[in-house]
Amino acid sequence: MRRLLLTALFLWSSLVSAERLTIDRIFGDPDLAGPSPRALKIAPDGRHVAFLRGRADDQNQLDLWLYDVAGGKAQRIVDSTSIGERRELSDAEKARRERERIAQLKGIVAYRWSPDGKRLLFTLDERLWLCDPAAPREKQLRALTPKGLDVIDAKVSPRGGFVSFVSAQNLYAIDLADDRTTQLTRDGGGAIHNGEAEFVAQEEMDRSTGYWWAPDDSAIAFERYDESNVDEVERSEVYADHTATLRQRYPAAGRANVTVKLGIVAPAGGEPRWIDLGDNADIYLARVNWLPDAKRLAFQRESRDQRRLDLVVADVKAKTSLTIDVCAGLCPPNSTDSANEKVVLAETSATWINLNDDLRFLRNEDAFVWASERDGYKHLYVIGFDGAVKRALTKGDYDIDKLLALDEKNGLVYFAANRDDALQSQIYVVHLDGRDAEKPQRISAGEGWHDAVFGDDARVWIDTFSNPTAPPQVSLRKADGSLVAWIERNELKPGHPFWPYRDSLVAPEFGVLKSEDGQDLHYRFYKPLGFEEGKKYPVFMTYYGGPGSQYVKKNWGNYFEQFMAEHGYVVFALDNRGSPRRGRTFSDAIFKQLGKPEIADQLAGVAWLKSQRYVDASRIGIFGWSYGGFQTLMLLAKAGHEFAAGVAVAPVTDWTLYDTHYTERYLDTPQHNAGGYDKSGVLHWLDGIESDKLLLVHGMADDNVLFANSTKLMAALQNKGTRFRLMTYPGAKHGLSTPALKKHVYHLIADYFDEKLKPTPAAQP
C-alpha cells in the first residue's frame, strides 16, 4: 500500500511540475516541432540535399541550407536577412502565397536546383538570385533581375541554359550564357495573364504554375487566360486605418470562368503558336506535360461539370492532336471529336473526377502511367497510346496518395498510400510489369506519417516521418528504404523546444465508429491531463470535414488539441463521409447536398461521446475553420440542442458565393441543382441556431471565403433576434496567418469555451 501511495504521489508531482503548453508558446519561437527542414530536394547529381529552415528567433523567416551527403553535415548557404530588403510584396505574390497556404512565411520560400546540381535558383523579396555554393563566398550569389522588378514562379530550364519567370502578367526568359533577358509575351495586363495559373487552378486544382519547359530547352508551353467575362465582385477590405474598396474577379458558382488558351513560344522569342483546345471554350486546363521526345505536348482538358477528363497529345511538329480520353471504358472506342482529335476512351464519373499529378510517360514502351479511381479507389495503371489498359500496377481497397518516382531502368514504381492503415501514409514499391500489383512492398519504417521526396534517378529518397508522440525526423534512404544518413534526427531530448512539455503530453487514442450506411468513421480523442475516474469533463470537439483534406491522422503537431486536453477537456475529432483517402463510396456521399451526411456522421460521434461515463453531455463545444466553420453552423442549426457552444471561423454560409471549380464539383451549378444549393446553405436552417451559442470569426479581407458569407449570416441572425458573438480581423485573409493573429484568435476560442463549458471560468494562461 505504501509503495502504491508513493507511486501515485510521484506521478502526481510529475504532472504538477511538468510545464504545460500555452497559446503564446504554440505560436511563438522556436518552432515546437524542432529544427525541421522543409521543401527538401535532392540535387540532380545526388551529392547534396537542399532545404529551407526557419530561424530560432523567427520560425517563419526561412534560410536556404545544404546537406552534404558524403560529409554528413548541413550548413546554411544563404542567410535571407543578409540580402533581403524586406520590401512589401506585390499583390500577385501575396495572392499566390495565400493560395499555397504559405502567407505567413518570409525570406526564401521556394527554390529550384539547376540540372547539373551545382546551382540553386531562388527569389527573395521577388528579386531573382542564382547561388553557386562551391564558388568563393563573395561570388556565390548573383542577382539575375534588378531591384523593383516583381518576379513570380521562377524556373531553371531542364538543360540549364535559361531561367524563366513571370512579371507583370508576362513571361520572360534569361539566357544564362549572356544574361540577356527576353520578354516572350507582350499582351499581359488588365484581364490578360500570360504564364500564370488562374485563381481556381491555384486554389482548387492544385496547379500553381502557368508555363512548362520542353525537355530540350527548345520551347515553353504557356497558359494565357482572359478574365474579362468573370464577374467583378466589389468588396471592401477593412484595415485598421483605412478601408479599401476592391473590384475582384471572382468566378462564383454557376457564373463565367476565365477563357484559356495554350501557346508555345521559343525561349529566344517570336510569335507563339496556339494549341487547339477543342470547340468548347468552357473547360478547365487541368494539367500540361511534355513528352520525353520534346516533340509532343500533352494536356488534360476537364469538362465544366468535372465528370469527364480528356488527355490530349499534340504533335507540335505536325500541328495535329490526338485525344486519349482515359477512363472507365464507358465511351465507345475510336469515336471522333474532330479531324485532328481521336477519342479512344473517356475518363468519366457519375459524380466528379479528382485531378492528380501522377502522369508519367514511358521512354521504353509506347505507353504511360496513369492514376484512376475507376474501380472505386485510386490506383495506378499502364495505358497504351491506343487507349487500352495494358496492366494495373496497384490493386486493393485502399487509395494511393501519390506516384513518387518511376525507375524505368530497373522497372520499379514508388508511391505513397494508406494501404496498411487509413490514418497513416507509408511508402511502397511495385514492379512496372504489374507482377506484384496486389502485394506492393513497403519500404518505409515506423508507424505514422511519411512524406517522401525521391531523387531524379530514384536511387535515394528523403523520408520525413512523424507520429503523434514523435516530432518530424528527416533521413536520407536508399531505394530499398535502408538508412543512408540522418539529415535531422530531431530527437525529443533536453534542448529540444518541446522537451519542457514532454511530461504533459497526452497521447491521443484512435478508434472507429459506423456511419448510418455502415462505413467506418475514424476518430481521434484525448482524455484530459490528470484524468480522474468518476469525474465528468467538458468536450472540445473539432473537425474539418470537407473533401480534399483528411483531419484525423497519425502525425505530429496537433498543438491546440494538446492545449485543450491539458486544460481539462476531453478532445474529440472525427472524419466524416466526404473526407478523402477512403475510396469513392465514402467521398461521394456528399454529392449534390453538402452538410447532410457530414452532420449525420458528426452526430454519431456525439452519441458515442455521450455514452462515455466521463463525458458531461451538457457541456459539449464544437469548433471548425473554413469548411469546418460551415459544419459548426450546420451542427448548431440542425442539432443545436446537443451543444453548449460553437465557434465558426471563416465559414461558407451560402455556396453560391463560393468559386466554380470547388462548388460545382460537389453541387453542380445553381442552375441545375437549386434545391441542393438551398439545403446546403446555412440560411435554410437558420431557425435552429439558438441565441448565445455561437462565436463567429472572420478576416475582413478574406478573398477566398469572402467576408460577405459572414455579413449575410449576421444580418439574417439579427433580423431573427438571435444573439451571437462576433470577432472580425481588419486586413486579415482566410488563414489569419500572422503569429499575432493566431495567438489572438486561439486565445479568443479557448476563453470562449472556458466561459461556456466550465462551471467556473478558468483564467487563460
Are 210 and 153 in contact by the 8 Å Cβ rule? The answer is yes
Among the listed residues 466, 626, 710, 737, the single catalytic one is: 626
pLDDT along the chain (765 residues), means of 10: 43 59 97 95 96 95 96 95 81 82 92 96 91 93 91 96 96 96 97 97 96 98 98 78 81 98 97 94 97 94 97 78 45 36 70 98 95 97 93 98 98 98 98 98 98 96 98 98 97 97 97 97 98 97 97 97 98 98 98 98 98 98 98 98 98 98 98 98 97 97 93 98 97 94 98 92 43
pLDDT for 371 equals 97
- Reference 617, options 592, 636, 643; nearest CA is 643
User: Dihedral (C-alpha) 539, 578, 704, 624: value to the nearest 10 degrees?
Assistant: 0
Point out the catalytic residue in the list 475, 496, 734, 754.
Answer: 734
For residue 626, indicate whether it is catalytic: yes
Q: Half-sphere exposure (CA, 13 Å, Cβ side) for 704?
A: 25
Q: Which candidate in 125, 325, 702, 703 is catalytic? A: 702
pLDDT digits (tens, 9 = 90+) for 610-621: 999 999 999 999
- Residue 87 has what pLDDT? 76
Distance CA 144, CA 178 (A): 11
Please state the φ and ψ torsions of residue 672, each to the nearest 5 degrees: -100, -10
- pLDDT, position 316: 86
Q: Establish whether 407 is a catalytic residue.
A: no
Q: Which three cell numbers stand for residue 456?
A: 531524379
Q: Which pLDDT score, from 0 to 100, does residue 11 have?
A: 42
How many angstroms separate the CA atoms of 601 and 606, rounded? 9
pTM of the shown model: 0.94
DSSP conformation letters of 260-317: EEEEEE-TT--PPEEE---S--SEEEEEEEE-TTSSEEEEEEEETTSSEEEEEEEETT
Active site (annotated) includes residue 672:
no
Give the residue among 158, 274, 152, 165 at the shortest CA–CA distance from 221: 274
CA end-to-end span of the chain: 37
Instruction: Give the model confidence (pLDDT) of 597-609 as tens digits.
Output: 999 999 999 999 9
What pLDDT is attached to residue 17? 55
